[in-house]
């Protein structure tokens, strides 16, 4: 009959070149957005990042999740694989062990340069 929400931390804003030049959301502020996002980039590897990615995909946005390390660290690997498979089936793009190396404002949206692996880079419009 009751629900307790007990958040234990605040979002960390990463030091990414160009991030300060654009408007961005945190896990706390994205819930106040009232318009559909065409493409949302989610940074993180914990439960909140996966929750935001799945929720916005189900709301109709394209979603790319960039995680800096293993997704859901500390959780049972077999269950993590089930959750990740479900996210992929729903259309969330997962860039595992990736990092955002630069952000550039554009006339419509923002350009984000993501590195996965040692040399693989790709540009995203978000």
pLDDT greater at residue 4 or residue 107:
107
Q: Structure pTM? A: 0.86
Of 82, 25, 72, 85, whose CA–CA distance to 44 is shortest? 72
Q: Are 53 and 87 in contact (CB under 8 A)?
A: yes
Q: Which of the four pLDDT bands, split at 50, 70 and 90, describes residue 39?
A: very high
92-111 per-position pLDDT tens digit: 999 988 999 999 888 777 89
């Amino acid at each position: 009959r009751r629900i307790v929400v007990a958040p234990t931390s605040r979002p960390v804003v990463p030091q990414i070149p160009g991030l300060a030049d654009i408007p961005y959301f945190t896990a706390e502020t994205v819930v106040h957005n009232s318009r559909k996002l065409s493409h949302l980039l989610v940074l993180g590897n914990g439960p909140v990042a996966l929750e935001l990615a799945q929720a916005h995909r189900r709301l109709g946005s394209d979603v790319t999740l960039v995680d800096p390390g293993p997704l859901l660290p500390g959780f049972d690997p077999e269950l993590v694989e089930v959750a990740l498979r479900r996210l992929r089936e729903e259309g969330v793009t997962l860039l595992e062990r990736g990092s955002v190396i630069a952000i550039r404002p554009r006339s419509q949206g923002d350009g984000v340069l993501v590195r996965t692996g040692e040399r693989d880079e790709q540009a995203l419009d978000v």
